[in-house]
Amino acid sequence: MNSARPQWFTRGIEHIWLPYTQMKTAPEPLAVVRTDGSRILLADGRELIDGIASWWTACHGYNHPHIHAAVAEQLARMPHIMFGGLAHEPALTLARRLAALLPTGLDRVFFCDSGSVAVEVAMKMAVQLWLNQGNSQRSRFVAFRGGYHGDTFAAMSVCDPEEGMHGLFAKVLPQQLIVDLPLDALSRQTFDGLLERYAKELAGIIVEPLVQGAGGMLFHPPQVLRHLRAAADRYGLLLIFDEIFTGFGRSGTLFACEAAGVRPDIITLSKALTGGTIGLGATVATNQVFEAFLSDVPDHALMHGPTFMANPLACAAANASLDLFEREPRLGQVAAIEAALVRGLEPARALPHVRDVRVKGAIGVVELDRIDDLRALKRCFVEAGVFVRPFRNIVYLTPAFTISEEELNRLTGAVVSVLEKWTRP
């Protein structure tokens, strides 16, 4: 092992501000020099098996040659061109392909550069749809406890109040209706009552379908989404599915809305859209939503346009990623991962302080009562040769769909053995 820190690290670390990190006390990040498949190679020579796939993006593993070739070819031809007044093949092909994959009617794709911005655009679409009809009252959203939709301001306002930092930013966040998911008779009654009471102020409902990810890796059944669809229809609200985490096979089907048999009015995509290669977001609306913006009044146009929207490199990566979903047995691999996660994580259920073990698609979760020292636990995983990033009381795995059986066994084995030591009284 080479323990020397590379020069770029020593010279640059003093100038960097890291995500979700208390910079005063945080340990240094791990210096990475290369990725390959499900492996992360560190500057000191160690190799880790990746359990997170870079926040769930690298669904085909790192450095897939097909995506690599598509991006290299696009790089040589046209790395970027503005999307105002100009159009290019990778974006138009991608829009057509996404529309073909999504439920019928979700036909209009607005590209941006990240998940949070895709959510901002979805919320703006919903509010402006009402404004275009002369209704300025309907500007609020119903969102759910346990939800996470991003870190920009409108996105934060629809996150779980604690996770979304509502308290800290209370004065600047739009006030939304944050409620429990209608999971049982009582919560359905509360939800229906709130909608009845506030419908005239509401633009839409936003939810992560089937799996609430960063808010706690919580699963809910499809009936919940059918209830939301019916409620949205009852009051003319827009139903927004944020599939930034669940989309592209992560929850077992290509999109979670398929499994639920529910078509939203707007869907947001990002993360695995490019196979984790380059940032790209998409907000896809039904024709009905799109048509509410068609007008002789210029201001009725959708008022949004990120500089790097529809970046050709990102679109080329996304098209290549969709090729891989067509050519390679990704959903079969997800089913095999699901079975292996169930088998591999089951022994954790018997450990003290383990509250729940749950698996859906390529998402495996061990929920503990609490984790007192997250930093130390993260260190234990690295020492065990895996990259796993627990948060709050949750240890989870979201590996690449191309991970080998042996690598996956090593990941689940590491989770169980590290937690065995960790939870020992």
Could you list the beta-strand ranges (E) of 180-320. Answer: 202-207, 211-212, 218-219, 238-242, 266-269, 281-286
- Report CA dihedral (247, 249, 252, 256) to the nearest 10 degrees: 20
Q: Which of 121, 122, 129, 244 binds ligand PLP (CB under 6 A)?
A: 244
Q: Which of 38, 54, 74, 114 binds ligand PLP (CB under 6 A)?
A: 114
Name the phi and psi angles at 93, rounded to 5.
-65, -45
150 scored as a contact of ligand PLP (CB under 6 A): yes
Query: How many Å from the N-terminal Cα to the C-terminal Cα in the chain?
Result: 34
- What's the DSSP call for residue 347? G
Task: Give least dist CB 340 to ligand PLP, A.
Answer: 23
**In this chain, which residue has its C-beta nearest to ligand PLP?**
115
Q: Clarify whether 20 is annotated catalytic.
A: yes
119 scored as a contact of ligand PLP (CB under 6 A): yes
242 scored as a contact of ligand PLP (CB under 6 A): yes
User: What's the CA gap between 408 and 156, in Å, rounded?
Assistant: 33
| Interacting span for ligand PLP (CB under 6 A) from 102-110, 112-120, 299-307, 344-352 | 112-120
Q: Which of 38, 54, 116, 157 binds ligand PLP (CB under 6 A)?
A: 116
Of 42-71, which residues contact ligand PLP (CB under 6 A)? 55
Q: Which of 213, 312, 344, 399 binds ligand PLP (CB under 6 A)?
A: 213
Q: Which of 38, 176, 270, 333 binds ligand PLP (CB under 6 A)?
A: 270
Q: Clarify whether 242 is annotated catalytic.
A: yes
| Interacting span for ligand PLP (CB under 6 A) from 206-214, 233-241, 353-361, 383-391 | 206-214
| Interacting span for ligand PLP (CB under 6 A) from 77-85, 143-151, 179-187, 376-384 | 143-151
Of 124, 148, 360, 378, the active-site residue reads 148
Of 271, 360, 378, 396, the active-site residue reads 271
Size of the site for ligand PLP (CB under 6 A): 15
| Interacting span for ligand PLP (CB under 6 A) from 43-51, 97-105, 144-152, 333-341 | 144-152
Name which of 246 and 419 has its Cβ closer to ligand PLP.
246
Closest CA to 338 of 280, 251, 254: 251
Burial zone of 152 (CB within 10 Å; 0-12 exposed, 13-18 middle, 19+ buried): middle
- The dihedral built from the CA positions of residue 176, 232, 309 and 148, taken in this order, carries a sign that is positive
- What's the DSSP call for residue 237? P
| Interacting span for ligand PLP (CB under 6 A) from 41-49, 108-116, 136-144, 366-374 | 108-116
Please spell the DSSP secondary structure of 39-60, one letter per residue: EEEETTS-EEEESSHHHHT-TT
283 scored as a contact of ligand PLP (CB under 6 A): no
Q: Clarify whether 373 is annotated catalytic.
A: no
214 scored as a contact of ligand PLP (CB under 6 A): yes
Of 124, 242, 360, 378, the active-site residue reads 242
Strand partners, 248: none
Exposed e or buried b for every residue in 47-73, given b needs 16+ CB within 10 A? ebbbbbbbbbbbbbbbebebbeebbee
Please spell the DSSP secondary structure of 117-142, one letter per residue: HHHHHHHHHHHHHHHHTT--S--EEE
Q: Clarify whether 184 is annotated catalytic.
A: no
Catalytic residue numbers, as ranges: 20, 148, 242, 271
> Under the rule (CB under 6 A), what is the footprint of ligand PLP?
55, 114-116, 119, 148-150, 208, 213-214, 242, 244-245, 270
